[in-house]
Chains A and B, each alone.
Chain A
Amino acid sequence: MNGFTTRAVHGPKLRKDPLGALRPPLYESVAFEFDSAEDIEDAFTGKKPGHTYSRITNPTVEELEQRIRLLTYANGVIAVSSGMAAIADTVMSLAEPGSNIVTSEHLFSHTLSLFTSTLGPWGLHTRFADMTNPFSVKEKIDENTRLIFLETITNPQLEVADVAAIVEVAKEFNIPVVVDGTMTTPYLFSSKQAGAAVEIISSTKFLSGGATTVGGLIIDNGTFDWSNAPTLIDFTKKFGSNAFLARLRKEVYRNLGSCLSPHNAWLQILGIETLALRVSKCCQNALTLAQFLASREEVVHVNYPGLSSSPSHITASRQLSHGFGGILTFDLGSKEAAYRCINNLRLIRRATNLNDNKTLIIHPASTIFHEFSPERRERMGITEGLIRLSVGIEESDDLLHDISQGLETP
Chain B
Amino acid sequence: MSTMPVYSTLEGNLMQITVNGEPAQIQQSPFPVEAALRHFKVEQPDMVSVQVNGSFIERPAFSTTLLSEGDELDFLYFMGGGSR
Size of the A side of the interface (Cβ < 8 Å), in residues, is 30
Given A49-B43, A49-B47, A238-B51, CB of A76 within 8 Å of CB of B81? no
- Identify which of A15, A57, A236, A238 contacts B79 (C-beta below 8 A): A57
- Residue B6 interfacial (CB < 8 Å): no
Who on chain B is nearest to A222 by CB?
A: B59
Question: Does B10 reach chain A (CB closer than 8 Å)?
Answer: no
> How many residues of B sit at the interface, in one of the four size bands?
20 to 34
Q: Which residues of B come within 8 Å of A, CB atoms?
A: 1, 20, 43-44, 47, 49, 51, 56-59, 75-84
In angstroms, Cα B82 to Cα A46, docked, is 10
Q: Known: A42-B1, A47-B1, A47-B20. Is A238-B83 also a contact (CB below 8 A)?
A: no
Task: Tell me the nearest residue of chain B to A39, going by C-beta.
Answer: B84
Report Cα–Cα, A375/B78, bound state, in Å. 47
CB of A14 within 8 Å of the partner chain = yes
A35 and chain B: residue at smallest CB distance: B84
| Contact call B56/A240, Cβ cutoff below 8 A | yes
Set of chain A residues within 8 Å of B83, measured between Cβ atoms? 14-15, 49, 59, 62
Compute the total of residue contacts between A and B using a CB distance below 8 Å: 73
Q: Which residue of A lies closest to B79 (CB)?
A: A249
A48 in contact with B78 (CB, 8 Å): no
In the complex, A50→B58 CA distance in Å? 23
The answer to the question of A351 belonging to the interface, with a C-beta cut-off of 8 Å to chain B, is no
Tell me which residues across on chain A come within 8 A of B51, comparing CB atoms.
238
Q: Which secondary structure characterizes the binding site on chain B?
A: loop
Given contacts A50-B84, A59-B83, contact A241 B77 (CB under 8 A): no
A1-27 contacts to B, CB under 8 A, are: 14-15
Nearest chain-B residue to A242 (Cβ)? B78
Whether A43 contacts B81 in the complex (CB less than 8 A), given A49-B43, A240-B49, A240-B58, comes out as yes
Report Cα–Cα, A393/B58, bound state, in Å: 44
B residues near A307, Cβ cutoff 8 Å: none
Contact B77 A49 (CB under 8 A): yes
**A56 and B78 in contact (CB under 8 A), knowing A237-B56, A240-B57, A240-B58?**
no
* Residues 112-169 of A contacting B (Cβ, < 8 Å): none
- Residue A52, interface by CB 8 Å: yes
> What is the distance, in angstroms, from B45's C-beta to the closest C-beta of chain A?
10
Q: Is B49 a contact of A56 with CB atoms below 8 Å?
A: no
What distance in Å separates the Cβ of B4 from its nearest Cβ neighbour in chain A? 13
Nearest A residue to B20, CB-CB: A47
Query: In the complex, what distance in Å separates the CA atom of A242 from the CA atom of B57?
Result: 11
Q: How far is the CA of A250 from the CA of B1 in the complex (A)?
A: 22
Name the B residues within 8 Å of A76 (CB-CB).
Answer: 79
A65 (CB) vs chain B CBs: closest residue: B79
A246 at the interface (CB under 8 A from B): yes
Residue from B58, B75, B79, B81 in contact with A47 in the complex, judged by beta carbons closer than 8 Å: B75
Smallest Cβ distance from A83 to chain B, in angstroms? 21
Q: Is A254 in the interface zone, CB < 8 Å from B?
A: yes
**Minimum CB distance partner of A59 in chain B:** B83
Q: Given that A240-B58, A241-B58 are contacting pairs, would A46 and B1 also be in contact in the complex, using a CB cutoff of 8 Å?
A: no
Residues of A within 8 A of B1 (CB): 42, 47
Contact with B along A24-65 (1 / 0, CB 8 A): 000000000000000000110011111110001111001000
- Tell me the minimal C-beta distance from B17 to chain A in angstroms: 16
Nearest neighbor of B82 in chain A, beta-carbon distance: A49
Contacts of B47 in A (CB 8 A): 49
Docked complex Cα distance between A56 and B80 (Å): 7
> What's the nearest-Cβ distance from chain A to residue B77, in Å?
5
How close is A382's CB to chain B, nearest CB, in angstroms? 40
Residues of the B chain whose Cβ atoms lie less than 8 Å from the Cβ of A241:
58-59
Q: How far is the CB of B41 from chain A (nearest CB, A)?
A: 11
Cross-interface CB contact of A46 among B43, B44, B56, B77, cutoff 8 Å: B77
CB closest residue in chain B, given A240 = B56
Closest to B75 in A: A47
Tell me, in angstroms, the Cα distance from A51 to B77 when the chains sit together.
11
Chain B residues, CB < 8 A from A236: 56
A238 touches which of B56, B59, B75 (Cβ 8 Å): B56
Residues of A within 8 A of B81 (CB): 43, 49-52, 56-58, 62
Q: Shortest Cβ distance from B46 into chain A, in angstroms?
A: 9
Which residue of chain B is the closest to A77 with respect to CB atoms?
B79
Distance A236 CA – B76 CA, assembled complex (angstroms)? 13
Q: Interface 1/0s, chain A 247-274, versus B by CB < 8 A?
A: 0011000100000000000000000000
Chain B residues, Cβ within 8 Å of A365: none
Closest-by-CB residue of A relative to B59 is: A241
Interface pairs A-B: 4 shortest CB-CB: A49-B82, A57-B81, A240-B56, A246-B78
